[in-house]
Structures are given as structure tokens and as C-alpha cells.
Amino acid sequence: TTVLTSPTVQRFFSEAASTIEGEGELIIPVEDFWDDTGEAATSLPTLAANNSYLNVYVNGVLQMQDLVTYTPGVAEEGQLKITVPAGSKIQQSTPIVLVITNFAPTGQTTIES
């Protein structure tokens, strides 16, 4: 049996529009992201059920999953929300990177007798 995982990785880049300090939220709508080519993003991809994951980096630091809420979709629908805990701060212009990985696994079994 041969199994291929076939990942599709999509990266989106943004910067914090303002400083968010302690117990706040940074909400980044899809139109505030750029894709890998530097073009403005127009949609955020859906996560494949049981075959995907996302990572969020703030200033190069991987964020805990419980601090991130992801909503896929097109303009005015898709967004990324980052909860800023008490005692923390995200400065204006801090780089934010969203990495979406979806898998499309396939399998092939050869039976010889």
C-alpha cells in the first residue's frame, strides 16, 4: 500500500494596524492579508475536515491555538482573530503570518497472488 499525503500550503502575511495591549483582540480581515506573491488576498481557504491545520506567527513566534480564531471566507467574511492575553502587547506594524496546510491523502494498494 502506498499512501500520499499531498499537502497544500498557503501563507498569508499582514501587519498589526495598531497596538493592542493586554486582554484585547487583534482582528485581521482577509483584505488586510497578502499572499505568497505579494498580491492582496481575496479569500481565506477552508480547512479540510480532519486533514488540515493552521499556524499563526506574531513577530516570528508561533502562537498557542487557544489564542487564535480562524474564519475562512471571502472579503468581509474571512478573518483571523488573535486574543492578546493580559500583560501582553502586539505593537503596531508587527508582522503576522498565517500558514494554512490542507492535506488531500490518496492511497493505492496492489495485491499480488
pTM: predicted TM-score of the whole model, two decimal places: 0.89
Long-range contacts of 68-75 (CB under 8 A, 24+ apart): 70/44, 70/98, 71/44, 72/43, 72/44, 72/45, 72/46, 72/47, 73/30, 73/43, 73/44, 74/30, 74/42, 74/43, 75/29, 75/30, 75/31, 75/42, 75/43
Q: What is the rounded distance in angstroms from the CA atom of residue 78 to the CA atom of residue 11?
A: 14
pLDDT for residue 75: 87
The top-scoring range by mean pLDDT among 2-6, 56-60, 75-79 is 56-60
Does position 44 have pLDDT exceeding 90, yes or no?
A: yes
pLDDT for residue 5: 85
Does position 22 have pLDDT exceeding 90, yes or no?
A: no
- The rounded percent of the chain whose pLDDT value lies above 90 is 83
pLDDT band at 36 (very low <50, low <70, confident <90, very high): very high
Contact 97, 13 (CB under 8 A): yes
Does position 99 have pLDDT exceeding 90, yes or no?
A: yes
Q: What is the rounded distance in angstroms from the CA atom of residue 72 to the CA atom of residue 69?
A: 10
